[in-house]
Amino acid sequence: MENIDNLPIDIVIATHNSRKMDEMGRMLFNSAYQPLSLKQAKVFEEVEETGTTFKENAILKAETYGKLTGRLTLADDSGIEVDALDGFPGIYSARYGGQGKNDNDRNQLLLTKLDGVSGNELTARFRCVVALWNPIDETVVTFEGKMEGSITRNMKGKNGFGYDPLFFVPEKNRTLAELTSQEKESVSHRGKAMREATSYMAENLFSLRGV
């Protein structure tokens, strides 16, 4: 009979974005946790992001999807803050421009908003908050990551998603979309937050398993 302590713990990645699901799932590879998509957990509802901060929205998604699935649940909320736009689009990054827009539409809209802004004023950052909901005691813990950079005038690179083709990473001298998955995860806002989360999950394995 297999020892229950050796079995992976199912953890729901609370996103309908398949590329984000893949990215977060890779960061759990070779851990004691088995990532499940919302589709695999048979949850198709969309949670309305009514929070006013990344942290509020991450907690909202982790709690809501966690209660729907009854499983350990990991959710993130992330976005890009552009200094010349007073931190916008921020928490509205994935909804920038309204419904029906794709990544390319949002990137083009951002460039339009920055028309006429000088190059040295194109500083920006990505922020991410990851929230972990525990079904055993219905508590939530959060982890944060940030990455500084700037906006480029032209989209470059085919990797990643969202605003990655426009976000220039000084330490790599390339945009996020020009980096490999491993390179991106080593410096990105989500990579930083996820490393904190996975470290916590490793240290609290037995309490998260409920034994």
Whose CA is closest to 124, among 141, 146, 156?
A: 146
Q: What is the pLDDT of residues 147-191, one digit of tens each?
A: 999 999 999 999 999 999 999 999 999 999 999 999 999 999 999
Residues with a known catalytic role = 77
Q: What sign for the dihedral angle of Cα 44, 50, 54, 60? A: negative
Beta bridge partners of 126: 80, 147
Structure tokens, 24 = 């977060």
| pTM confidence score | 0.93
Output the domain CATH number for residue 44. 3.90.950.10
Count up the domains in the chain and report the number: 1
Compute CA distances 206 → 8, 33, 202, 210, whole Å: 12, 12, 9, 6
Q: What is the pLDDT of residues 47-77, one digit of tens each?
A: 999 999 999 999 999 999 999 999 999 999 9
Q: What is the pLDDT of residues 86-123, one digit of tens each?
A: 999 999 999 999 988 999 999 999 999 999 999 899 99
pLDDT at 40 over 70: yes
Those residues with Cβ within 8 angstroms of residue 163's Cβ, 6 or more apart along the chain or in another chain: 80, 93, 103, 106, 107, 110, 126, 176
Residue 211 — pLDDT band, cuts 50, 70, 90?
very low
Domain, as residue range, for 154: 4-209
pLDDT at 208 over 90: no
